[in-house]
Amino acid sequence: MVSEYIHRAKKYFRLYKAFDPRHTVDIRNPMKKKKNVFVKGDNVLVSKVKANKNLKQSVKKSIDLIGGLKKSFRKSDSVLIVPNYNSDDNYPASTDIKFLEAVIKVLQEFGIRNITIGNASGVHWLPTRSVFDSMGVTALAKKMKVNFSCFEEKDWIMVKLDSDVLRDVSIAKEVFSYDKLIYLPCMKTHRRARFTMSLKLTMGLQCLKHRVLAMHTGDLENKIADLNKAVSPDLIIMDARKIFVTGGPDSGKVKNHDTIYASGDRVAIDFVGLKDLLKYRNEDNLLDKPNPEDYDQIKRAFKIKLGVKKKELIKIIKG
């Protein structure tokens, strides 16, 4: 599998400056870790909402249950939305365009106008612009009067990590220029990382060269946790109306889970989501352990104090 990625990388070295080592500019420390305001006392909040036919209403409810946009956002904020467009495969492999539209509507109705959709697709599916075109993102951006950004077309910036499993990483430079960052992960199994939710989504911000040569050369699950030291999202809204319970990230057996999760903490939302995904663990030997804390992404995230300190501090609010 590693050789497959190396082969693709060599091809794109010739085609995209995304793989040009000189394209990485400057060096800085990780984005300052932001305080999670979606809490109650010492508890980190994660909402679980049963989705209904009114998708915008369901998305808004998931945010309102943890305190609402007003807890963290201002109308004047510039907001970067990071969806899951690693590939041009249909939902739940990629973000449902209707879900993305619902999130944008919720933000605009709150009063936020400066919104950008940003991502860098995987090496198998580059360029990102083609993925955005085929998945309807380009048309949606025009319709909703928001911006979109294909990270490999712009500059990367080196971020120094204090990590014993991952060397310094290169992240899309513009990520550091927004007031607020929102993640929109899908919930699914993953052939290489066992599962993918909000922690894994951060790879969509990473330089393609480093993604291939640093992440996919072993110990991926631990590296995913440490990669998240580089950036700090303000809000995660996870679409789990449909999920992969086998295979992934691009294809697999689909189950209707009919749930939307929201939190200000990547570790907490992935813990809760993985706990629910493990209910389907008899479907695929990727999920070979009974508890979320047994999986390296979560275990490592707890160890490096990326988010919530321990599972007992996670409070689930259902709606």
pLDDT (mean) for 101-121: 98
Q: Report DSSP letters for the chain, one per residue.
A: -HHHHHHHHHHHHTT-GGG-GGGEEEEEPPPPPPP---EETTEEEEEEEE--S-HHHHHHHHHHTTT-GGGT--TT-EEEEEE--SSSPPTTSS--HHHHHHHHHHHHHHT--EEEEEE---TTT--HHHHHHHHTHHHHHHHHT-EEEEGGGS-EEEE----SSS--EEEEGGGGG-SEEEEE-EEEEETTTEEESHHHHGGGGB-HHHHHHTGGGS-HHHHHHHHTTS---SEEEEEEEEEESSS-SS---EEEEEEEEEES-HHHHHHHHHHHHGGGGGG-TT--SSSGGGSHHHHHHHHTT-S-S-GGGEEEEE-
Domains (ranges, CATH) in the chain? 2-318 (3.40.50.11440)
Residue 60 has pLDDT above 60, yes or no: yes
pLDDT tens-digit readout, 114-153:
999 999 998 888 889 999 999 999 999 999 999 999 998 8
User: What pLDDT shows up at residue 124?
Assistant: 81
Percent of the chain with pLDDT over 90: 77
Residue 21 has pLDDT above 60, yes or no: no
pTM: 0.94
